[in-house]
Amino acid sequence: MAKTTHTSTKSSSIRPPRVAIAVMAAGKGTRLKSKHPKVLHEIGGKPILAHVIATAAKVVPPSDIFAIIGHEADRVRAALAETGVNFVLQPEPRGTGHALMVAREALSPYDQVIVLSGDAPLITPETIQRLRDFHTGQKATMTLLSADLANPFGYGRVLRKSAKSPEVRAIVEEKAVTPQQKKIHEINSGFYAFSVPALYEHIGSLSTDNAHHEYYLTDMAAVFCRARKKVVAMKTSDAGEVLGSNTRAEMMDLDALLRLAKCQQLLSEGVTIFYPQSCVIDSDVEIGADTVIEPFVQLLGKTKIGGDCRIRSYSVIRNSEIGDNVTVNPGTIMDDSRVAASAIVGPYSRLRPGSEIGEGAHVGNFVETKKTKLGKGSKANHLTYLGDTEIGEGVNVGAGTITCNYDGANKHKTVIEDGAFIGSDSTLVAPVTIGRGSYVAASSCITEDVPADSLALGRARQTVKEGWAAAKRANQAVLKAKG
């Protein structure tokens, strides 16, 4: 019995520390002048907080991540539900120190906590890991990540014990800095590592005796120093990583940085992007090697593009999957659609949700598709609407064809089987099926199913009145002569 107890004590003393990540995201974001929570504003195509959480999830599992939320908590929770992280409610935003006070119960099972700011999304997993290792190596109670900024305005300044010492005696917020301290360029990034037991032993010493009447987490540096606990700063070499987004202007700076970084990543992976500053490519987009992106292209959401494609100017592609060797001509708009290898789309095509363009198929100028499958090698090249349509292989859809899928109350399906030929300016009134290998004569209105291998004509027979125009002109000349 005694032996068992001894063994368990020993194993617990050598086990690695349990580490949690807390992300502070409960603030109002007053400086944005927005009715939406700051952390849900999007940069790089997704909410700021989603970037921070994705980074945190590369360091610890989502079950060890705690997002501290408050302002519009339900919306924030809903937007991040699928990340699998935990949420802690801070009912009133009474400061960054208060955010950690309310997380006491959630964090108490851990040995260390890394604290991130939900509004500073450029931090990398490597830097978080380095912060943790530095904290452990220094045997510190609190470690903060600092950076040298050319313009430190607005940030808390780091007061070191001496210029060369890693030890910090306090952090002073912008509103409290003396003229002398204003000259300090080393800022507090808002990222920290803490010993959890020490944090909660001393957090009660924070006060609201400051310009905002809030509990500042930054004051823990001075609190720990008074208690003779070690506080150190680790300076990052990349000051860009710590930038926060308190104003719209700062947010747009971060957006531009993220997008440029995304382009650089794609360039290094073998994608050509002409004039990358003009392209808008979201963080989660994937593109294969030797694909060429022309200027002024937007690739959004979870879009995935194969290799050897050419995406030409002014195309806007969202949540779509494109195979290899596809050409998307200028001005194409695509949402929630799939395009198979070697297809050609555009110029000026609009692929609405549920469009599936088959291998080698063509969709041309001013063609709109919705919930439509266009089979291998089929073509719809000009001025056409295809909605709720299933089109087989090797079909030619003539210019100006329209599927009439809506009867005013319900949507109906059109089926065009393999090898059919739809003459120009035809209307196909759904539900209707055009059989395999059939022809529809130009300008037909088709209301009934067409069996395979037939010709369907659905239009008025042509009448010709010979001499009619000449007679009309003669009549007009007589009237004119009479005055």
Contact 367, 384 (CB under 8 A): yes
Query: Is cis: bond before 121, omega within 30 of 0?
Result: no
244 binds Ca ion (CB under 5 A): yes
Report CA torsion sign: 391, 397, 399, 403.
Answer: negative
Residues in binding contact with Ca ion, number by CB under 5 A: 3
453 in Cβ contact with 435 (< 8 Å): yes
Footprint of ligand UD1 (CB under 6 A)? 24-27, 68, 90, 93-96, 98-99, 117-120, 155-156, 171, 173, 187-190, 216-218, 244, 246
The nearer residue to ligand UD1, 245 or 405, going by C-beta atoms, is 245
Least CB distance to ligand UD1 at residue 249 (A)? 14
Residue nearest to Ca ion (CB): 244
Work out whether 435 is an interface residue with Ca ion (CB under 5 A). Answer: no
> Known catalytic residues?
382
What is the nearest approach in angstroms of ligand UD1 to the Cβ of residue 330? 41
**Cβ-based nearer residue to Ca ion, 100 or 273:** 100
Residue of 55, 71, 44 whose CA lies nearest to 21? 55
Least distance from ligand UD1 to the Cβ atom of residue 215, Å: 8
Q: Does 335 bind Ca ion (CB under 5 A)?
A: no
Q: How far apart are CA 302 and CA 294, in angstroms?
A: 19
Helix (H) or strand (E) holding 316: strand 316-318
Q: Tell me which of Ca ion, ligand UD1, none is bound by residue 188, counting a contact when its beta carbon lies within the kind-specific cut-off of 5 to 8 angstroms.
A: ligand UD1
* 214 binding Ca ion? (CB under 5 A): no
Q: Would you say 73 or 326 has its CB closer to ligand UD1?
A: 73
Note whether 288 and 310 are within 8 A (CB).
no
**Maximum Cα interatomic distance, the chain, rounded to a whole number of Å:** 130
Q: Would you call the peptide bond into 347 cis, given omega within 30 degrees of 0 as the criterion?
A: yes
Q: Are 113 and 199 in contact (CB under 8 A)?
A: yes
Among ligand UD1, Ca ion, none, what binds residue 90 when CB lies within 5 to 8 Å by partner kind? ligand UD1
Residue 68 interacts, among Ca ion, ligand UD1, none and using kind-specific CB cut-offs from 5 to 8 Å, with ligand UD1
**Measured from the CB of residue 220, what is the shortest distance to Ca ion in angstroms?**
17
| Binder of residue 95, out of Ca ion, ligand UD1, none (CB less than 5 to 8 A by kind) | ligand UD1
What is the chain's alpha carbon radius of gyration, rounded to the nearest angstrom? 33
The answer to whether the beta carbons of residues 416 and 432 sit under 8 Å apart is no
Which does residue 350 touch among ligand UD1, Ca ion, none (CB within 5 to 8 A, set by kind)? none
Q: Which does 189 bind (CB under 5 to 8 A by kind): Ca ion, ligand UD1, none?
A: ligand UD1
25 or 383: whose CB is closer to ligand UD1?
25
Tokens of 288: 């294969």
φ, ψ (nearest 5 deg) of residue 229? -105, 155
Q: Are 304 and 321 in contact (CB under 8 A)?
A: yes
CB 200 to Ca ion: min, Å: 24
Q: Name which of 211 and 471 has its Cβ closer to ligand UD1.
A: 211
Whether the CB-CB separation of 156 and 87 falls below 8 Å is answered with no
Residue 184 tokens read as 């300090």
Q: Using CB under 5 A as the criterion, what x/- string covers residues 116-145 for binding Ca ion?
A: ---x--------------------------
Q: Return the number of the residue (192 or 439) whose C-beta is nearest ligand UD1.
A: 192
For ligand UD1, the nearest residue by Cβ is: 156
Tokens of 144: 């903060």
Provide the 10 A C-beta neighbour count for residue 238.
12
Binding-site ranges for Ca ion (CB under 5 A): 119, 244, 246
